[in-house]
Amino acid sequence: MEEVRRPRGRPRKPVLLQAEPGLARLGLHERAVQRLRGLIVGGELPAGADLVETDLSAALGISRTPLREALKLLAAEGLIELRPNRSPRVTELRPGDVAALFEAIAGIERATAELAAHRMGEADLAGLRALQTEMEAHHRAGALAPYFALNHRIHGLIVAGARNAPLRDAHDALHARAELARRRALGRRARWDESVAEHRAILEALEARNADAAGRLLSEHVTHTGAALLAGLCPPAATDAA
């Protein structure tokens, strides 16, 4: 059934990651969550990979107990799938999942934008303006790499501006998976132009404290982004110049 079927286990990824000096005050399971999340969205643990507890615990330098706790948490985020008496697997994003994901993010970010339009302070808006300026500079310079980082920070600032912990948490949980989809279909220059323009419009709506417009624009922006990702992901044909 599956084309990418590992024999039984043993993806044999010599990941070997431990010793996080900065954030050492957290529990092992929490560090494992962060590390594994990074490995998954970073692509080091590819979609469909089997996560064998013994190997992973050895690679992370921890025992299976905190690792299993971390795996449960990642499964709750949807990054991996748990199957009874089977190795957990890194979730495979099907096009339908990506579409649903961005629908959900669009809805949540619209709600945050509407709240943020009323609740962001001038300092917040100034920060957003600065990021927008920086982003446009990168855009003009053609620096695509920093764009993603800026994009992430801008969306995060708007979400934080809503001052709503549940919405923030829900957004963060979905964002990891969205990042996972994002790295599959990057380099869409045309979409990049649109995206920067949309961000500017969103900023202006927030500055005008226009909640409806901010929410609508941000929702549409996320929807467009999702559609672009989906287009670059689902039918990769029609560009078979190779």
Partner DNA sequence: TTAGCATTAATTGCATGCAGAGCACGAAAA
Partner DNA sequence: TTTTCGTGCTCTGCATGCAATTAATGCTAA
Q: Tell me the pairing of strands 89-90 and 80-81.
A: antiparallel
Which residues neighbour 120 within 8 Å (Cβ) at sequence distance 6 or greater? 128, 161, 206
**Maximum Cα interatomic distance, the chain, rounded to a whole number of Å:** 58
- Looking at residues 88 to 127 of the shown chain, list those that interact with DNA (rule: CB under 7 A): 88
Nearest CA to 37 out of 83, 94, 76, 95 is that of 76
Task: Give the binding range for a second copy (CB under 8 A) out of 7-15, 35-43, 129-137, 161-169.
Answer: 161-169
Verify binding: residue 156, a second copy, rule CB under 8 A: no
Count the neighbouring beta carbons within 10 Å of the beta carbon of residue 129.
13
CB of 40 to a second copy, least distance (A): 17
Closest CA to 148 of 230, 41, 46: 41
Q: Among 19, 166, 187, 237, indicate the residue that binds a second copy (CB under 8 A).
A: 166
- Which residue reads 């990891």 in tokens? 176
Q: Which residue lies nearer to DNA by CB, 47 or 82? A: 82
**Shortest CB 67 distance to DNA, Å:** 7
Instruction: Report in angstroms how near the CB of residue 209 gets to a second copy at its nearest.
Output: 17
Number of other CB atoms surrounding residue 240 within 10 Å: 6
Q: Please report, as a single letter, which amino acid is at residue 62.
A: I
Residues 1-20 that bind DNA (CB under 7 A): 5, 7-10
Residue with tokens 């043993």: 10
Closest CA to 92 of 144, 48, 134, 156: 48
Instruction: Report the residue from 13, 15, 48, 53 that binds DNA according to the rule CB under 7 A.
Output: 53
Q: Does 7 bind a second copy (CB under 8 A)?
A: no
Does position 59 interact with DNA (CB under 7 A)? The reply is: no
Binding site for DNA (CB under 7 A): 5, 7-10, 27-29, 50-55, 62-66, 68, 82-88
Residues binding a second copy (CB under 8 A): 25, 27, 29, 65, 68-69, 72-73, 76, 78, 84, 97, 100-101, 103-108, 110-112, 114-115, 163-167, 169-170, 173-174, 177
